[in-house]
Amino acid sequence: MRNGMLALVIAALAGGAWWLWQGRLAKPLTADALATRLAVPLAAPEGPLAVYHLGHSLVGRDMPALLAQMAGHDHASQLGWGSSLKDHWHDEVAGFETENAHARHRPAGQALDSGDYQVVVLTEMVEIRDAIRYHDSAQHLALWAQRARKARPDVRLYLYETWHRTDDSEGWLARIDADSARYWQGDVLAGAMAQEGVGAIYVIPGGPVMAAVVRAIDAGQVPGLTTRDDLFASDEVGAVDSIHFNDAGAYLMALTHYAVIYQRNPKGLPHNLTRADGAPITALSEDTARALQRIVWDTVFRYGLTGMSNG
């Protein structure tokens, strides 16, 4: 009996469920409590911040590289193929060798334990409903946040809210609109931020920005872009990827990260940038870049959970 109980304890710890075993799992925050906690702003940065990205292909190598060029900051990452925060926690990352075969990779545990990064951006897998149901999203977001904050109490933590496949049966725009409150905030953030030692985790609203840009494209308000497919990758025969961004989408997400992390209007940022491998991104016109910058700022400014001290 004693050995069986010990085995249960070990299993709970190995599963990252230490708080469940100890009976210390706090109830998720209410929507009002979450909004109140995240209404406390961060001070606007005075200069470049070292940034660490943990995630998958909706982070990628290129988006952090574009962001670093915009901000002039140092960065590192750990990526995988559709990997959840749980996968990263347990070192069970599909595609690890392939996705991290670059100079900016730094093992996630080592990076966060070092305290070297003033900003840590955490990215959950999608489908977000599967992440919540099968990968204990709130629990593992909390574990990574606690780890980062233990090494560096003043770390700025962000959850990068992404999107699902464009062919979703419920409608791509409809799901982005609904998923922010019901899943990203209502399940993942509210559960994680209720736990001791987590503190505030602000939001980088990638999905809402994507939706805002697509609506602007549909309204003819983004010069040079005619359909949402212009933000997504395509293969050699022109078939459009239903979830992964192309250079224009990577630029858009880099602008979004910049606006949130640095609390600055991205208007006027350069758009003739290079990918992580040094190759230039597919050219964007000046008018296209300015339209994307305007939409990013408008969306981020209104979102409300980003930690901006001036919004």
DSSP character string of 142-170: HHHHHHHHHH-TT-EEEEEE----TT-TT
| Domain ranges (residues) in the chain | 27-303
Least confident residue range of 10-19, 39-48, 154-163: 10-19
Cβ count within 10 A of residue 75? 20
- Cβ(266)–Cβ(295) below 8 Å: no
Q: What class does CATH assign to 27-303?
A: alpha beta
Residue-level pLDDT at 14: 38
Residue-level pLDDT at 310: 65
- Residue 1: is it exposed, middle or buried by C-beta count within 10 angstroms (0-12/13-18/19+)? exposed
Using the predicted structure, report yes or no on whether residue 5 has a pLDDT greater than 60: no
Using the predicted structure, report yes or no on whether residue 17 has a pLDDT greater than 70: no
Quick one: DSSP state of residue 186?
A: I
Q: Which pTM value belongs to this model? A: 0.92
Residue-level pLDDT at 24: 65
Rounded Cα distance between 270 and 263, Å, is: 17
Rounded Cα distance between 44 and 271, Å, is: 23
Using the predicted structure, report yes or no on whether residue 20 has a pLDDT greater than 70: no
Residue-level pLDDT at 293: 98
Using the predicted structure, report yes or no on whether residue 64 has a pLDDT greater than 90: yes
Using the predicted structure, report yes or no on whether residue 129 has a pLDDT greater than 70: yes
Residue-level pLDDT at 2: 38
Using the predicted structure, report yes or no on whether residue 6 has a pLDDT greater than 50: no
Q: What is the mean pLDDT of the chain?
A: 93
Higher pLDDT, 22 or 268: 268
Averaged over 8-24, what is the pLDDT? 40
